[in-house]
């Protein structure tokens, strides 16, 4: 039986207002080297978690293994938690149309678009919450297209016993190196398999490392699509999109309830879980963890954009009066202060 998620948790981020710490976000974080060895840890790197949408790239790998063949922007959408912006909705329709299906085939939970301006436009047009505007609709459209390609039934594609979901589980075992001890249902209705924090990080190291070595298999194809089309993975104002734009070759994916994982092109990787599930500290923790994992040494990294990613202001009267800051900066040492090697 796994230890409680609270066991061994440590502060990952402080919320500072004025000159006082107002609140603290506990959690677990792990950074791996390209061989998959733990090089930095805060909390319990073996903590068992629900990876939530951070597992979508692995689900996409399983789909490609089963025969899914999409152009890179649509393959990135298959691994997305998208904003529901027009480009995302058009992509979902294109995936479905390629499989001879309409939006009525989607079985994910109807919601409004995640991006507020997109939601406002959707409502202004007299529309209601729909499956196509939910952030997981790209994954569900791709699952349906995979079923059509493989000759599998599309009516029960969300059943854990369905051939597609068995394939997903097999890929999770292969890339994380852990056998899921728990299975449940994610918010969108798809089966969700547990893994460890280190296992999740390991899978992202394998994803990004394969793409960095110019491999051509399913793992590399998904990773390359995501890093080349980060706007399809999330969208306007989202931290995983911003991180992939800042760091060439990065593969990053957030998940609900404070989960995030990322892999660098050399194969180093990170994953973390914010214990209270809050989204606010996630960009600050991600930016600091990327520096810790060596993102500042990636050729072509946009140091300024990475700094902006980690700048999470605390507002008072509409102006910044504090910040959300990662609390493990002492691990960064000279790397965080100096920056890329060429700046040393």
CB count in 10 Å sphere of residue 8: 16
This prediction has a pTM of: 0.94
- Is residue 31 a contact partner of residue 40, using CB atoms and an 8 Å limit? yes
Q: How many CA atoms lie within 13 A of 186 on its CB side?
A: 29
- Is residue 114 a contact partner of residue 103, using CB atoms and an 8 Å limit? no
Nearest to 91 by CA among 233, 252, 211: 233
Q: Torsion angle, CA of 52/206/298/302, rounded to 10 degrees?
A: -30
Residue 19 burial (C-beta neighbours within 10 Å; 0-12, 13-18, 19+): exposed
Q: How far apart are CA 262 and CA 168, in angstroms?
A: 19
Q: How far apart are CA 260 and CA 328, in angstroms?
A: 16
Q: How far from the centroid of its chain's Cα atoms is residue 292's Cα?
A: 18
Phi and psi at 251, nearest 5°, equal -120, 115
- Domains of the chain and any CATH numbers: 32-65+156-343 (3.40.710)
pLDDT at residue 330 in the model = 65
Query: Radius of gyration (Cα) for the chain, nearest Å?
Result: 19
Q: How far apart are CA 255 and CA 157, in angstroms?
A: 22
pLDDT at residue 1 in the model = 56
Average pLDDT over residues 179-202: 96
Token match 């039934």: residue? 153
pLDDT tens track for 27-49: 999 999 999 999 999 999 999 99
pLDDT tens track for 41-85: 999 999 999 999 999 999 999 999 999 999 999 999 999 999 999
Q: How far apart are CA 155 and CA 148, in angstroms?
A: 11
């Amino acid at each position: 039986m796994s230890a409680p998620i609270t066991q061994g948790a440590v502060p990952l981020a402080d919320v500072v207002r004025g000159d006082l710490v107002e609140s603290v976000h506990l959690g677990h974080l792990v950074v791996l080297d390209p061989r998959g060895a733990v090089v930095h840890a805060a909390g319990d790197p073996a903590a068992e978690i629900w990876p939530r949408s951070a597992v979508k790239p692995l689900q996409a790998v399983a789909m490609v293994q089963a025969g899914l063949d999409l152009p890179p922007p649509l393959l990135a959408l298959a691994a997305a938690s998208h904003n529901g912006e027009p480009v995302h909705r058009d992509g979902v329709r294109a995936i479905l149309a390629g499989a001879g299906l309409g939006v009525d085939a989607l079985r994910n939970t109807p919601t409004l678009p995640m991006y507020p301006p997109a939601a406002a436009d959707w409502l202004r047009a007299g529309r209601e919450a729909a499956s196509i505007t939910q952030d997981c609709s790209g994954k569900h459209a791709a699952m349906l297209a995979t079923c059509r390609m493989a000759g599998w039934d599309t009516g029960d594609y969300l059943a854990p016993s369905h051939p597609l979901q068995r394939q997903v589980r097999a890929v999770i075992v292969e890339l994380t190196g852990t056998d899921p001890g728990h299975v449940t249902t994610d918010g969108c209705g798809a089966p969700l398999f547990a893994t460890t924090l280190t296992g999740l990080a390991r899978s992202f190291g394998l994803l990004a490392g394969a793409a960095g070595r110019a491999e051509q298999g399913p793992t590399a194809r998904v990773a390359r699509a995501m890093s080349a089309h980060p706007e399809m993975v999330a969208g306007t104002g989202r931290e995983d999109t911003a991180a992939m734009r800042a760091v060439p070759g990065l593969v990053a994916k957030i998940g609900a309830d404070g989960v995030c994982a990322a892999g660098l092109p050399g194969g180093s990787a990170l994953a973390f879980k914010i214990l209270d599930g809050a989204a606010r500290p996630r960009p600050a923790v991600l930016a600091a963890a990327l520096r810790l994992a060596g993102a500042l040494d990636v050729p072509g990294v946009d140091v300024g954009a990475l700094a902006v990613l980690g700048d999470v202001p605390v507002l008072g009267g509409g102006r910044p009066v504090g910040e959300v800051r990662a609390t493990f900066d002492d691990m960064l040492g000279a790397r965080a202060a100096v920056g890329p090697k060429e700046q040393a």
